Chain A
């Protein structure tokens, strides 16, 4: 199996008629971890939602190819089955559906009819992953995200990531609102996924998470596009100088922020 590849060319995205992402380019391969950083309202989350296919986000031009297949032609569930995963900033609560049932349905959705995961194997895998994330057993039977704290929801996103084993994952501000312990669990989960067959795009405001998940590349996004790309040192520089320093360096003047 060749390493998976995600290619995004000149992506433009509008939300409710307002142009937010304006020419976003990104190439990622399996085995790579990229960080996407930038101030509030520059369109980072919009890229994530548009790639996953949220109905509110309209791709007005550009391309997104997963293993040379056109992602943008696919329905949300097809994108997921093709290998995409988005750990959401605000995961929905689904009352009455247990985490375990949800995960098993999702896994079987990927495997297809007649190839369902054996129940025992599912339970064993789930136990193992939950152990690694130090999640209480009761999580499996609790309703999806219902009554979960912010940190629990984020951990639940990582659990899904580990169970579904996608080719590419986007983590949309997975670190927001997390304390240092929760941050470590998240990092542990993501690091355990590292392989030639898995690529990950981490959207974050802060450098902190990148202490635990070392990125291969760091991209800075402003005003709807990537304005600078570098190695892990770029995140450190950003931490030191702030976005204002970065703007000055890049000669970006106006502060044309938009709602994410």
Chain B
């Protein structure tokens, strides 16, 4: 399979990428590692006429300890997130979940920013960011703005990143010592999650839970979070994990099976994060 023809331009900096995106409008797509976009282009599900390659913008590749949070450059590869000492210590759920993205070859090329900006509800990392309460930094011609993870994922493959904007940084609040769990249910090693649950428990009544593949966008298990906040048991809180979600049916799972998985996996996640 070969993508439809497109023009290829290489950006040397974030600023240059943003002006190239402004110049080419909605015909252009940003290319980072290419491991979400290139497969779609090969299937001709995406046919951008211009690709703006930001893969060589090296100053967006970093993992920095910023005191209360860790700042991750959008072009940091999954592999580097997976093995980062800072993240393994202070945000272990993110390093762990990243080690379940695709396979080693995919993690050598794919980037955290590319995965998040793709906005796929079936991918692992958005749920982790929801559970952690992360902030995303988006840069445009007029400077940068911060978007909470809760506001970033707006619909199926839709995010808060505008046409002439670039996701540049992910700020992840530290969860050093907090309980956490990442549950990914799939049938084969490298598959997408049929349902996944990311859980960060910072205290008896404080838990963040993100769900993978339970709606048209990455969503919280809001009813479970509220139940924990009001003192419910793990069992009772997990029993409402699918409340308010609208999962889809596909070849792997019916809507009811997905709801069942969300409840069971949330129960396991809460138990692991609370132990």
Do A and B share a complex? no
Residues of A within 8 A of B (CB): none
Residues of B within 8 A of A (CB): none
